[in-house]
Chains A and B, each alone.
Chain A
Amino acid sequence: MIPVKEILMPKSVDEVCRLIRDNNGLSKIIAGGTDIIPGFHIESPRFENIERLIDINNVDELKSVSIDNNIITIGSAITFSEIISSQILSEKLPLLVKASKTIGSTQIRNRATLGGNFINNAPCADSVAPLLVYDSEVKIKSFTAERIMKLQDFLVKPYGTRLKPDEIVSQIIVPVPAKSFRGDFYKLGRRRAVSISRISLAILLDVDNGLINQIKIASGAVTPIGTRFYDVELFAKGKNFTDESMKEISIKLGERILQVSGVRWSSEYKIPVVQQVCYQLLKKIERGENLI
């Protein structure tokens, strides 16, 4: 077990920012701890040189969900169980809620947090694909400054983000999609519960008069980090929403994923599965069995 000098439990974001500023990068924020604690236990090099843990579970403003003018603000330390039981999120961001239900077990969802999921930025972080199709932004605070950044710009590489040692992601800001959007999320793991994603896809689709007005597609696990596919979205825009175009979009998506991820030992079977998942999601949306 990696030693720690202390664990502090501040009550406000300002206090958190002061604590992470004062310790010259030797402090680490901990919320659910479901990634950090096993890492400490096996003495993972990812957690070397940490002297102090700042537990943010008692900071109320990091746990709240609010909606104002069709903009939803979610505190970064909200747990997945809290996301699942939130009325606002179930109604307005059903893809995020569906993805949250697939994460870990009840015990994990009771501790693991939304912010922790994408700040850790594992390729398989299940909240990322839905947050990307919702065009989410993150609010980042330090003791002296505050900035807002698109989530996709915030996520840099596997286990890497733009967060600096003296900063905290305080909120996730999500615009409610227009009512004309429909969508769905699918996760493929090796088993039905407590599974790590092998493939996940989130799709939001706006069809107007039989034409694809706009589509938003994001992947998880099958790309190095959660990724939006703007070129595939552009390719699909304006096409008739037919079986044929659904196949074209799915094939295109598979090709793009192969380009992004490179050929791997698993590509031969994963790419056809991704394409099939994409096609099935589009079919489901066509049949009206989707979430929104």
Chain B
Amino acid sequence: MIEFLHENFRYLLSGISVGGQYALIAIGYTMVYGILRLINFAHGDVFMVAGLIMVYAIAGGLPMWLSIILVIVLTVVLGVAIERVAYKPLRSSPRMSVMISAIGVSYLLQNCALYFTGGLPRSYPAIPFLSKQITIWGATTKMVTLITPILTLVLVLALVFLINHTKIGMAMRAVAKDFETSQLMGIKINSVISFTFVIGCFLAAIGSLLYFSNYTTVVPTSGAMPGLKAFVAAVFGGIGSIPGAVIGAFIIGICENIIKAFGQSWTVFSDAFTFVLLIIILLVKPTGIFGEKATDKV
């Protein structure tokens, strides 16, 4: 057992790391769903754009620290702008309209990326600290593998604190339950929704720094697969629940990498696993691990 674990330790490590990256994206899905009851299909693509911003910032000759700040700031601005332009005007429309709008934004971002990159894979700059090679228990990996789960947990704890113990967090919980009564309290609904997008995009930007340090190239569809898996993680954990999304993301990340340890012939099934899991959850427990009981927003 120990032998097997030791031999395949690198798979477990990269599973935990990928899981952390999925978690950072999944929180964006689950928080937006919690407040707007909207699956923000554009979220994965915002994540991809964050990757491209880094590529172009470094290519433009900016120093590393400034590029990282730029990635975070521009990603947040992009997310809030998308909400203002594509979702806010549809606030009182049927939910289906907003969802279609989100799908539209997703394709818009992919196509803009295609235009700017010319469809060629852009190589992601090596962030010196994250790309350092290290060896843990015989497994050689990059520093980012170790940093990701730690950073993810720190950010998640900070977020949970924010939501449970601050005024804006209280407002977020109130708005998630009842728009109209929140308004009667004097809460500005639109500011709270924008703030939710700020957090979601901030975490996606951090996630992109970690994820692309591992995968090293960005293409216009780079956001699709991690976005989809993070979405599955959010559904698995119970969409709307932050701890659920994080746990779901780690489970998916670890499982899809552990599969690779069974040998070459299993590796091809690593993605399939995630989606089989999605189908099983939807059949067996559609509300996920921590999902709220199926009370629809009235």
- Is the pairing of A and B real? no
Q: Which residues of A contact B (CB under 8 A)?
A: none
Q: Please give the residue numbers on chain B whose beta carbons come within 8 Å of chain A beta carbons, in ascending order.
A: none
